[in-house]
Structure 1
Amino acid sequence: MAQLVVTAVLVEGRSKSEVARTYNVSRRWVITLVQRFLAEGEAGLEPRSRRPHTNPARTPQAVEDEIVELRKDLDRDGHDAGAATIAAHLQRRHGPEQVPAVSTIWRILSHRGFVTPQPHKRPKSSFQRFCADAPNERWQLDITHYRLADQTSVEILDSIDDHSRLAASCTCRRVFTAGDVDTAFTATTSHYGDPASLLSDNGAVFTGTPRRGGRVALEVTCSARGIRFDHSRPYHPQTCGKVERFHQTLKKWLDRQPRPATVGQLQKLLDQFRDYYNTVRPHRALDRRTPADAYAARPAAVPTGTPLDTGHYRVRHDRVDRAGVITLRHNSRLHHIGIGRGLAGVRVLALVSDLHVRIIHTDGSLVRELTLDPDRDYQPQTRP
C-alpha cells in the first residue's frame, strides 16, 4: 500500500488529503511516506519496528548474566536447571523482591539459546495425580541399574517418601537379594521410623505372590510391623512414578560426575546426591521447597495395620527325582532335601513352617521330617 500512496501523490499528482481518504489512512501518514521516499527511495517504504529505543522496565544486564551463569552451573553439575528452579535459587540469594518472574527468566533463556523448542505436550491439567497427605504415609521403592567405570552393572535401591519426595535411602550393591532389600529397609526405618505403607513393583525381591505364592523377607517384616505393602499392576511403571522420576534425576547427576570404579565410590556419590536432593534442591511439586522442609512440616504417619505372625507357612507339591531328592527354596536360596532313591518318581507334599519341614507321601504317610539348615545346600537323610 505504501507504494500506491506514494505513486498517487508523486506520479498522479493527487492531493495528500484525497489520497488519505481513498486509502483510508491519515493525512499525516501520507506525508510521512512521501518524505521517506524522497529521502531514502524504495528502502524508505519498508516496514519499520515500533520498538522503543530504550525500556526502563527491562531486566538489567547484570541480572541476565547471573541467570545465564546459574543455568550453566546447574546444568554442568547435572541438576535441574529450569526457569522455576533458577528463580528459587535467586530468591535465596537476593530475596523475592529482586527476582524476575519465571516467565521473564524463561524468555531470557530462550533469547540466549538455552531453550530447545519442543512439540506441543499434553497439558498438565489432564494428568490424574495422587499424593500421600502426610510424611511416612507411603514410601515408594524400586531398583535401577548403573554401570561402573569397567562397565560392570550394579543395582541401586531407592526409597522415596510419597508426600515430601524425601529420598529416604539410596543404596547400591552388585546384586540385591530379598534379604539385602529387607536389611536396607530396616536400616532406613531406624532413622525415619516405620512407614504406614509401601509401594513397589512386582520384582522378585519385593514380593513372592506372582511366583507360586510365598513371602519374601520384606513382606515378612512388613507383616510383623503392621505395614501395608502394595504392588503396582504388571507392566505399569506409572503407578510408581515418583521413584521412577527420581531414578532419572539421579542418573542425570551421576552422568556429570567422574565414573566410579567400585561400589564403595558409587555409594559415596549417592550419599552426596541424596544430601543435596533433600536439603538444597528446590522441588517443583513442593512449591520450590526442599524435601527435607516438606517432610518436617507435618507429623509423620505410623503403621495402622495389625502385626501378624511372622511365621512362614506354605505347601509345596513336588516329585522325587532320580537321585531321590526334592528342592525347596528358603530366603531366596535353593536347598536339596534327600528322600531316598527308593521313592524316585513318587509325588510328595512338603509342609513348610519356617525351617520346619514335613515330607508326606500321597497316601498320607510321613516320609521325612526335618529342620532345614539354611547354611547348607544339601540336607542329607539322618543316619541311624
Structure 2
Amino acid sequence: MGSKFFDQQQKLTIVEKAQEIGFKEAADIAGVHYTTVYDWKNKLETMVREAFLEHQPNRPGRGVKKITPDQEEAILNTWQTNPGFGPGQVRSHLRRQGKTISIRSIRKVMLANGYEPRQTKKEHTEPQRFEAGRPLELAQMDILELHINKARVYLILLIDDYSRFILGYRLVEHTSADEVTILVQDAITRYGKIEELLTDRGFVFYSWRGINRFEKYLEHEGIDHTHARAHHPQTLGKVEALNKRIKNELFRQKHFSTLEQASCALAQWVDHYNSKRPHQGIGGFLVPAERFHGQADKALDEIAKNCDVTSQEHDVERSIANLVLSPDGTITLYILGQPVMVKGGLYG
C-alpha cells in the first residue's frame, strides 16, 4: 500500500475524531498508524486552530511513512526492557540486533506511549571534551550519597575513561581511604594496571595536610593521581553522568529494604550497563565491554552486516599481562596487576 496524503483540514478532522473514540480506533479508520495521529495532535496543541489549518508541511510530497507492527513491537519491547533508554539508545540497540528503524519512527512510537523527553539545559560555553586513548590509561572515581530506608549509604564507582566500562563499585555504609583502596586494588587484580586516576578532592581521596593512606597506596603502585579542578564538575563528567543515571534509573525507581537487596540490584544494573547497553559517548552502537575488551571493530563490522550482536557474551577478562610506559621512559610489565619487570631487569 502506498503512502497516504492528507490536507490540514483532514488531519484536524481525524484528530478531533480520535479525541472522541480513541487514537488507535481513529487511526485504523484513516488507514494510518496511531503515532501519526498523535503527532498531529501535538502539533495542533502547539498552534492555534487557524495556524494549524494554514500550516504547510516542509515536504508535502513524502506522505505518511508506515510503521509496521513488527517495528512497533520491537521498539516497545526494547524500551520496556530498558526503561532508561531514549530514542537514540533504542535505535542503537535495535541496530545491534540487525534491525534498522529510523529514530523519527522510534520517537513517534515512544511519545505516543508515554515517553517524556528529558529537558536539556543550554550550555553557555562548550566544555572541552577529553577522552583517554586506550583502556586503563585513565580511570575516574567518585562517591555518590544515597539513602536506603532513610539510612545513608555511599556508592563508590570506578570507571575506565576510554570505554566508560565500570571497573568496580562498592556500596558501603561508611566511606574511608581503605574502602577506595580495596576497590582500586580489586580492579587492578581483575583487569590490569591503571596508569592514572582522576578524583575530586574529597577527604578519602585527598589530604590538605600531608598525604593520606589512599594517596600513599597510589604512590606505591605507581598510579598517577590527578584531582579535578574545584567547582568544575565537567572534569569528572563521565563518572558524574553515571552517578546520575544510576540514581534516576535504579534508586529512585525501586525501594530497597536492606543494603544486601540494593547491592544485588546494583550488580544486575552494572552487568546490563557494561555488556548490553549501547553508550552514546562511544559512538552509540557499542557497549562499554566491547570497547574495553578490544572487540569494537569486530562488533561494528557485524552490525554493518545487520548481524545480531546482542546475544554475544562480554564476560572476557582483560589480558593477565599489560605493559605500562611511564613519563620517564620506564617500561614496566604487569602480571595480574603486579609489576614483575622494569627496563628488562627483574622487579624487586
Structure 1 equivalent of residue 151 of structure 2: 152
Stretches of structure 2 lacking an aligned partner (at least 5 in a row) = 1-52, 296-318, 329-348
CA deviation string 1:177-212 (max 9, x = no partner)? 11221122111211011211000000111011x2x2
Higher strand share: 1
Cα pair 1:135 1:301 within 8 Å, conserved: no
Cα pair 1:164 1:295 within 8 Å, conserved: yes
Structure 2 equivalent of residue 5 of structure 1: none
Structure 1 equivalent of residue 101 of structure 2: 100
> What amino acid is aligned across from residue 249 of structure 2 in structure 1?
W
TM-score by length of 2: 0.63
| Shift in alpha-carbon separation, 1:129–1:48, aligned structure 2, 3 A | closer
Cα pair 1:155 1:174 within 8 Å, conserved: yes
CA deviation string 1:98-149 (max 9, x = no partner)? 422223322443455524485784499x342100011101110111111112
| Shift in alpha-carbon separation, 1:54–1:63, aligned structure 2, 3 A | same
Cα RMSD of the aligned pairs, angstroms, is 3.1
Structure 1 equivalent of residue 68 of structure 2: 60
* 2:115 is the alignment partner of 1:114: yes
Give distance in 1, aligned partners of 2:222 and 2:117.
49
TM-score by length of 1: 0.58
Cα pair 1:143 1:158 within 8 Å, conserved: yes
Instruction: For 1:95-244, list aligned pairs within 5 A.
Output: 95=98, 98-110=99-111, 114-116=115-117, 118=119, 121-122=122-123, 126-149=126-149, 151-208=150-207, 210=208, 212-213=209-210, 215-244=211-240
Higher relative contact order (CA 8 A, sep 6+): 2
Cα pair 1:139 1:195 within 8 Å, conserved: yes
Give distance in 1, aligned partners of 2:275 and 2:87.
20
| Shift in alpha-carbon separation, 1:92–1:257, aligned structure 2, 3 A | same
> What amino acid is aligned across from residue 304 of structure 1 in structure 2?
S
CA deviation string 1:329-354 (max 9, x = no partner)? xxxxxxxxxxxxxxxxxxxxxxxxxx
> What amino acid is aligned across from residue 174 of structure 2 in structure 1?
V
Structure 2 equivalent of residue 332 of structure 1: none
* 2:267 is the alignment partner of 1:276: no
Structure 2 equivalent of residue 302 of structure 1: 324
The alpha carbon displacement at 1:216 in A equals 1.5
CA deviation string 1:245-293 (max 9, x = no partner)? 1101111222365422222222222221111111011101112201110
CA deviation string 1:299-350 (max 9, x = no partner)? 97736267xxxxxxxxxxxxxxxxxxxxxxxxxxxxxxxxxxxxxxxxxxxx
Within the candidate set 290, 298, 320, 1:293 is matched to: 290
After TM superposition, what 4+ stretches of structure 1 lie above 6 angstroms from structure 2? 46-54, 298-301
Instruction: For 1:12-23, list aligned pairs within 5 A.
Output: none
Cα pair 2:138 2:198 within 8 Å, conserved: yes
Name the stretch that deviates more: 254-263 or 177-186. 254-263
Secondary structure of the 1:302 match is strand
State how many pairs are aligned. Answer: 249
> What amino acid is aligned across from residue 100 of structure 1 in structure 2?
I
| Shift in alpha-carbon separation, 1:259–1:303, aligned structure 2, 3 A | farther
> What amino acid is aligned across from residue 287 of structure 2 in structure 1?
T
Give distance in 2, aligned partners of 1:100 and 1:221.
50
Stretches of structure 1 lacking an aligned partner (at least 5 in a row) = 1-45, 307-384
The alpha carbon displacement at 1:237 in A equals 1.7
Cα pair 1:200 1:240 within 8 Å, conserved: yes
| Shift in alpha-carbon separation, 1:292–1:283, aligned structure 2, 3 A | same
Structure 2 equivalent of residue 343 of structure 1: none
Cα pair 1:196 1:302 within 8 Å, conserved: yes
| Shift in alpha-carbon separation, 1:117–1:169, aligned structure 2, 3 A | closer
